[in-house]
């Protein structure tokens, strides 16, 4: 049995016969990519690095029923601030500050845009994201 040799010209003939299928697949893929790009929204992300200092304080006595302390106590550490920053009460305070600055935002929107992350013992990285660049910067600065 002798096998028939298939040349390069045979492949070009097959491609030429199927040119409409190739063009249709190419057009569909490019159309879907274009629609996906047009429907997607750009998200702007801003990062703020905040230094936190532990403060030592003495609690003074209040009236006769609350004794004071003679030994110093510390305030929140850097790790303790993360749940505070990621919580809704903090987002409400940031939204109130932004309202006074002339940028009314909902507290839930601010809460969804802010994320705090512990970096070092005295540093906190705050991420703020929004589809509007000025809004992302304002949220990060207000936080």
Task: Evaluate whether 88 touches 12 at the Cβ level (below 8 Å).
Answer: no
Residues 83-113 as b/e (b if ≥16 CB within 10 A, e otherwise) read eebeeeebbeebbebbeeeeeebebeebbeb
Strands (E), the chain: 44-51, 56-57, 73-74, 114-120, 123-130
0.75 surpassed by pTM = no
- In order of 2, 12, 17, 22, the CA distances from 6 in angstroms are 13, 11, 17, 22
How many other CB atoms are there within 10 angstroms of residue 140's CB atom?
21
| Higher-pLDDT residue of 72, 20 | 20
Residue 47 has a pLDDT of 87
Residue among 85, 10, 11 at smallest CA distance from 49: 85
- 70-120 pLDDT, tens per residue? 666 656 667 777 888 888 888 888 888 888 888 888 888 888 888 888 887
Q: How far apart are CA 124 and CA 130, in angstroms?
A: 20
Q: Is the pLDDT of residue 139 over 90?
A: no
């Amino acid at each position: 049995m002798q096998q028939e040799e298939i040349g390069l010209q045979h492949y070009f003939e097959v491609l030429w016969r199927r040119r409409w299928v190739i063009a249709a697949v190419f057009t569909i893929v490019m159309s879907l990519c274009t629609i996906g790009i047009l429907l997607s929204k750009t998200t702007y992300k801003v990062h703020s690095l905040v230094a936190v200092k532990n403060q030592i304080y003495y609690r003074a006595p209040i009236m006769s029923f609350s004794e004071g302390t003679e030994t110093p106590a510390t305030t929140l550490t850097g790790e303790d601030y993360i749940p505070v920053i990621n919580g809704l009460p903090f987002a409400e305070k940031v939204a109130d500050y932004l309202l006074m600055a002339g940028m009314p935002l909902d507290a839930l929107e601010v809460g969804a845009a802010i994320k705090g992350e512990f970096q070092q013992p005295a540093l906190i990285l705050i991420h703020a994201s929004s589809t509007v660049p000025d809004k992302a910067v304002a949220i990060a600065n207000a936080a």
